[in-house]
Amino acid sequence: MKSLFTAPALLLLLVPAVYAQNNTLSPKEKAAGWRLLWDGASMQGWHSAKGTNVPVDGAEIKDGVLHLRSSESHQGDVVSDDIFGDFELTVDFKLTRGANSGVKYFVNDKVNEAAHSVIGFEYQLLDDDVHPDAKLGRNGDRKTASLYDILPAAENKPTRPIGEWNTARIVVRGNHAEHWLNGVKVLEYDRTSPTFREALAQSKFKDFKGFGDASDGHILLQDHGDVVYFRNIKIRPLTAHK
């Protein structure tokens, strides 16, 4: 009897085993202490930066993707309910042409940075080729994967084209932090170092008392008025570095 399984059919059967579904955890990730910070279907575990309810103006969920829509109000910042100290965070992001956004950590949502935002360290997300902010700041410290307005990411970072998915990774242990982009470490800093302190003193945050000293805080996805997409938002607490 002739086999019913052709080579293409066999490949189709193998695909689910090779490619994990979005917004899920593998057994290996679960064993390592990872958890979904966003469940891919609701805003449970998140709130607005300006209140208890998730903003309806700027956020939408469709097909397992969190879509921060273009809005002039800039009221769509979403903040994790939970607070994290030492942690490892990964998030897939996709920018549209000219977009500006960010992933903030060590966020204190009781302190205003501006009328529409709150204080926190920011892993910058930006269309480096089009958005004018890329040419501001110092030494490229407002480009993608930089610690916004403080320290720049590596110039040769592996950024994928606008409209394609990228993966950001943030690792924090005590005063040591790392920014990764698409599997490559592009920035590493120590908050006690002279380099960091000098850069902070020249940044827009220099007059915010205690900025840079937080030991924990919320995670925030920034609404900067542009269309941005997020998925696979995962986090795991880490034991404090001794």
Residues with Cβ within 8 Å of residue 153, at least 6 apart in sequence: 140, 143, 144, 145, 146, 179, 181, 186, 187
Closest CA to 229 of 167, 154, 148: 167
Reply yes or no on whether the pLDDT at 74 is more than 60: no
Q: How confident is the model at residue 71 (pLDDT cuts 50, 70, 90)?
A: low
Phi/psi-derived region of residue 168, left when phi > 0, alpha when psi is between -120 and 50, beta in every other case: beta
Reply yes or no on whether the pLDDT at 141 is more than 70: yes
Residues with Cβ within 8 Å of residue 239, at least 6 apart in sequence: 86
Please write the tens of the pLDDT for every residue from 11-43.
444 444 445 799 999 999 999 999 999 999 999
Minimum mean pLDDT range among 6-10, 56-60, 236-240? 6-10
pTM for this structure?
Answer: 0.88
Domains and CATH numbers, the chain: 22-237 (2.60.120.560)
Please write the tens of the pLDDT for every residue from 200-238.
999 999 988 888 899 999 999 998 888 999 999 999 999
Give the pLDDT mean for 101-113.
Answer: 82
Specify the DSSP element, H or E, that contains 31.
helix 27-31
Q: In this prediction, what percent of the chain has a pLDDT beyond 90?
A: 69
Reply yes or no on whether the pLDDT at 86 is more than 80: yes
Please write the tens of the pLDDT for every residue from 109-120.
766 555 556 889
Residues with Cβ within 8 Å of residue 60, at least 6 apart in sequence: 66, 67, 69
